[in-house]
Amino acid sequence: MAEHALVEESFEPNLRDYTKLIHYYSKENQLEAAENIFTLMKQRGFICDQVILTTMVHMYSKAGHLDRAEEYFEEIKLLGEPLDKRSYGSMIMSYIRAGMPEKGESFLEEMDAQEIYAGSEVYKALLRAYSGIGDAEGAQRVFDAIQLAGIIPDDKMCGLLIYAYSMAGQSQKARIAFENMKRAGIEPTDKCISSVLVAYEKENMLNTALEFLIELERDGIMVKEETSRILAGWFRKLGVVEEVELVLRDFATTTCHQIS
């Protein structure tokens, strides 16, 4: 109905009417229909602004068409206006979806220079991208950028940083990130605990891992399903499944003696 109204000569739509319809087709992943409306809008003599061009970038970003997203982003820059955080954010997401987080991060640096900060969802997506490929340095840079933007990291963001260090096999840095999380008053999730454990497993640091778990128990933090599964798998590889409880009990006793 809305599209038919825009085509009617007697109807006088404004630019935002076209924007809303393009946004609707974008959500429905109807790219051709959105392009038809965009073409109709230009044929009617409307001049594209940053809002509608950003909608096009966002649409092609979600659809995984990086080349088309880049084309529309270039059109935004040709407007000669300062880019806003939505335009930058849409392009950063395009690069993240294309598996190119470094290019997305370069836009963050460009935004920082102009004191423009992306939304927390963009930072989190970039952090997740680096974390997923075990790029701990990239994850740490984004985590630092999150704090510089005045965004308080939550348990998920902290978890992604810890996971990045875990995948990179850097247990010491994973542990430091975990302890920083606790000091900030953020309750560690089981995912965070299991990530530290995986990092210790990669470096064959069984004793340190057990001491870590005993310390958590002493602090009233109980491990859950994922951590228990990883610990059981580790012991299974070592062929000592039946000795798990005995070893943990011995460590608990030793720790108590050391404290006293």
Q: Which tens digit of pLDDT belongs to each residue from 150-168?
A: 999 999 999 999 999 999 9
Over the stretch 93-122, which tens digit does the pLDDT of each residue have? 999 999 999 999 999 989 988 889 899 999
CA distances from 92 to 88, 105, 108 (A): 6, 7, 8
pTM, entire model: 0.83
CA angle at 22 for the pair 66 and 8, rounded to the nearest 5°: 145
**Conformation bin of residue 150: beta by default, left when phi > 0, alpha when psi is -120 to 50:** left
Please check whether residue 103 is in contact with residue 95, taking contact to mean a CB–CB distance below 8 angstroms: yes
CA 177, CA 179: separation in Å to the nearest integer? 6
Which pair of tokens denotes residue 43?
A: 């044929």
d(CA 22, CA 27): 9
Q: Please, which pLDDT band fits residue 11 given cuts at 50, 70 and 90?
A: very low
User: Which domains can be identified in the chain, with CATH numbers?
Assistant: 1-113 (1.25.40.10)
